[in-house]
Amino acid sequence: MDLQVVEQVAQLTEWVGEGGVVILSGAGLSTESGIPDYRGPSGSARRSTPMTYQTFTRDPIARRRYWARSHLGWRTIGEARPNAGHRAVAELQRRGLVGGIITQNVDGLHQAAGAADVVELHGNLARITCLACGDLTPRELLAERLDAVNARFAASAVAINADGDAELDETDLDGFTVVDCSGCGGMLKPDVVYFGETVPPARVSRSFELVAGARTLLVLGSSLTVMSGRRFVLRAAKDGIRVAIVNRGVTRGEPYAGLNVDAPLGIVLPNLVDALATVSPANAGV
């Protein structure tokens, strides 16, 4: 790390050491787990338009195309493991310095690293919901069913997006078969928020509650391009709550942040944990 980043991380260590931190994480936190982000240095340019809820539910051809891509993408997302950044966040929470975690990610890696009570703004790809009966089932079960009815489907992904949507050649989509709910025959959908859907109000409300009670809102790996996450930074700034951002590249939250650290999360966060090795909830004031 260069001198400027070292000084910024030292300041961040002071803030986090005071406790009362709320984390807002984005796709950049998961890049070191092999999941590309959307806009950062490791991101792959998305060639296809993101699936909207309206298209998914109304267009059978588009729905088949989505499931073929998502079935391939799940092989990457489902096999991903937490990286040093996820583990550092979980450790800070275990020590009582982090009071809440809000994530825009749908990969479940915060929980896999040991974090608890994570607000998943956009849901989780590991769950499948039936739009008719509301039944929730594990993604692994659906993957087994899709493998069984698509034994000859041998396409390979050109690229994977952070939402698990793979890029593949259109000719590879021929013959892919979609399955429905094994209970009621209804339409299945990943339990994630599509474009055109709104984040469930309870999740938004809980996130604002966490931010309102924070000393510091720490943004990790998000460009804050979309309002879904940026609104919490705006609220924190309005309420006089400190904002710190650690991200590779520029973000739309920079005007509102007291600290903007442009450095790899997999380096900054473990160093932060090491520097706070002697800090406990008792002397952190939380």
pLDDT, one tens digit per residue, over 49-69 is 778 999 999 999 999 999 999
Residues 242 and 270 in one domain: yes
Check pLDDT > 90 for residue 158: no
The confidence band for 41, taking pLDDT boundaries of 50, 70 and 90, is very low
Q: What is the mean pLDDT of the chain?
A: 90
Write out the two tokens for 129: 């919901």
Residues 151 and 167 in one domain: yes
Residues 109 and 52 in one domain: no
Check pLDDT > 50 for residue 46: no
Write out the two tokens for 85: 């950044």
Check pLDDT > 90 for residue 183: yes
Residues 116 and 241 in one domain: yes
Residues 89 and 221 in one domain: yes
The confidence band for 44, taking pLDDT boundaries of 50, 70 and 90, is very low
Residues 103 and 227 in one domain: yes
Write out the two tokens for 111: 């929980």
Rounded-to-integer distance, Cα 72 and Cα 166, Å: 6
Per residue in 219-264, pLDDT (tens digit) is: 999 999 999 999 999 999 999 999 999 999 999 999 999 999 999 9
Residues 108 and 250 in one domain: yes
Residues 143 and 203 in one domain: no
Q: Which of 169, 192, 215 is the last residue of a domain?
A: 192
State residue 75's pLDDT score.
84
Residues 117 and 139 in one domain: no
State residue 167's pLDDT score.
74
Residues 55 and 180 in one domain: yes
Q: State the binding site.
A: 130, 133, 181, 184
Per residue in 8-28, pLDDT (tens digit) is: 999 999 999 999 999 999 999
Which whole number is the average pLDDT over 69-88?
Answer: 93
User: In which domain, by residue range, is 150 found?
Assistant: 44-79+125-192
SS3 readout for the chain: CCHHHHHHHHHHHHHHHCCCEEEEECHHHHHHHCCCCCCCCCCCCCCCCCCEHHHHHHCHHHHHHHHHHHHHHHHHHHHCCCCHHHHHHHHHHHCCCEEEEEECCCCCHHHHCCCCCEEECCEEEEEEEECCCCCEEEHHHHHHHHHHHCCCCCCCCCEECCCCCEECCHHHHCCCCCCCCCCCCCCEEEEECCECCCCCHHHHHHHHHHHHCCCEEEEECCCCCCHHHHHHHHHHHHCCCEEEEECCCCCCCHHHCCEEECCCHHHHHHHHHHHCCCCCHHHHCC
Check pLDDT > 80 for residue 198: yes
Check pLDDT > 90 for residue 211: yes
Has 71 been annotated as catalytic?
A: no
Check pLDDT > 60 for residue 48: no
Query: 9: domain CATH number?
Result: 3.40.50.1220
Rounded-to-integer distance, Cα 14 and Cα 171, Å: 55
Q: From the candidates 71, 86, 110, 122, which is the catalytic residue?
A: 122
The pTM (predicted TM-score) of the whole model is: 0.91
Query: 152: domain CATH number?
Result: 3.30.1600
Write out the two tokens for 87: 């583990």
Q: How many domains does the chain have?
A: 2
Lowest mean pLDDT among 42-46, 87-91, 170-174, 177-181: 42-46
Residues 158 and 55 in one domain: yes
Percent of the chain with pLDDT over 90: 76
Q: State the binding site for Zn(2+).
A: 130, 133, 181, 184
